[in-house]
Structure 1
Amino acid sequence: MYSIGKIVNTHGLKGELKIVPTTEDIERFKKLSKVFLERKTLTEQEIETVRFHKNMVLLKFKGIDTIEEAEKLKNSIIKINKEDALPLEENEYYINDLYDMKVVTDEGMELGIIEDIMFTSANDVYVVRTKTKPVLIPAIKQCILNVDIPNNTMTIKVIKGLLD
């Protein structure tokens, strides 16, 4: 399953929820008829309405009709099945597929495992756990040579200053 957002608050009195999207294309919410909410357990919810407000998604689920019912869903993670994910273009990857990926250099040296991804305005940065210290790898063409999802391996070129 893929996470596509988090419920951060209610909106209004009739059960609408404010969602922080964790997907690049927030319009994708309009293409969904159902999602799964993860809190302590995983529950399926049918979407009644979707609208957008200030980079947020406002969702209304069928059967959630009061602010009190909506309050109980706060802090839930919104997930979808992999088959409901948007198709990828060439050289695009789902963020979830990158976590725990092995990182090697173009010279065959094994650096470590991607343990986190930082999202910056310029480009994403992969945080690689090595034997000694975390290494920050910028997600730029000059550095990322290949991402092999089936073999769970990323090949990078070590640019000047990267391992200092």
Structure 2
Amino acid sequence: MLVAHLVRPQGRNGELIADILTDFPERFAERPHLWVLSPDGKASRPVELENYWLHKGRIVLKFAGIDSISEAQSLRNLDVVIPRDQRVPIEDDSFYIDDLIGCRIIDIGSANTSDIGAIVDVDCETASTPLLIVQSETNREEILIPFAKAYLSKIDLDQKRIEMTLPEGLLTINAPFTDEEQVKEDLPS
């Protein structure tokens, strides 16, 4: 599970400033044994956390054996992860974002059940309800779908499948006007 992204060295003693990618930054105190992972996910290595502190909306991490700017520079742009079995237990109706990524959204509310696409990200910042960012199968555009209980029918994380009953018009709300709609609305072409 992704908990931070190492941005750059911070200071002269091997510290690194990182973007916080967890809702539980206080848990760094309980997890001295972490892993750093390359952006492509192919290379990883264990690291031991010596110290950490919050700084201007980010976190500064100090790992054992990383004691200079150049050593810290070698970790730049790596991700800090913990094994899935060490994740904080969450409520039954809550989900980790990384569990949702890759799940297929299936709209079972329309006359024909349709596969909308796969979740590529989740936006928890811009709205009161998290927005699933889904890569459309039909036009390759991103679609924003509210992750609202009212729309959810079934979530099967093992099968990477989320069934939803989406309101009519949700998937086309931001679509460009057709020629017919432009004429009807008297819009310039």
**Which TM-score band (shorter chain)?**
0.7 to 0.9
Compute the displacement of 1:159 (Å): 1.6
Number of positions where the alignment pairs a residue of Structure 1 with one of Structure 2 = 163
With over 3 angstroms needed to count, the CA separation of the structure-2 counterparts of 1:45 and 1:35, relative to structure 1, is same
What RMSD, in angstroms, separates the aligned Cα atoms of the two structures?
1.9
Partners of 1:8 and 1:75 within 8 A in 2: yes
Aligned partner of 2:85 in structure 1 is 83
Q: Flag the structure with larger Rg.
A: 2
Mapped to 1, the partners of 2:135 and 2:126 lie a distance apart of 23
SS at match of 2:171: coil
Q: Within 5 Å, which residues of 2 pair with 1:1-164?
A: 2-39=1-38, 41-107=43-109, 109-119=113-123, 120-122=125-127, 123-133=129-139, 134=141, 135-164=143-172
SS at match of 2:13: coil
SS at match of 1:113: strand
Residues 98-155 of structure 1 show CA distances to partners (whole Å, capped at 9, x for unaligned) of 1221222234713233241242331322233343134321112232333222332212
Compute the displacement of 1:9 (Å): 1.4
Mapped to 1, the partners of 2:71 and 2:167 lie a distance apart of 52
TM (norm. structure 2) is 0.77
SS at match of 2:162: strand
Partners of 2:105 and 2:119 within 8 A in 1: no
Structure with greater proportional strand content: 1
With over 3 angstroms needed to count, the CA separation of the structure-2 counterparts of 1:129 and 1:43, relative to structure 1, is same
Residues 28-83 of structure 1 show CA distances to partners (whole Å, capped at 9, x for unaligned) of 22221111111262111011112111221111101111122111111111111111
Structure 2 alignment gaps of length 5 or more: 173-189
Compute the displacement of 1:92 (Å): 1.1
Which runs of at least 4 in structure 1 moved beyond 4 Å after TM superposition? none
Mapped to 2, the partners of 1:97 and 1:44 lie a distance apart of 23
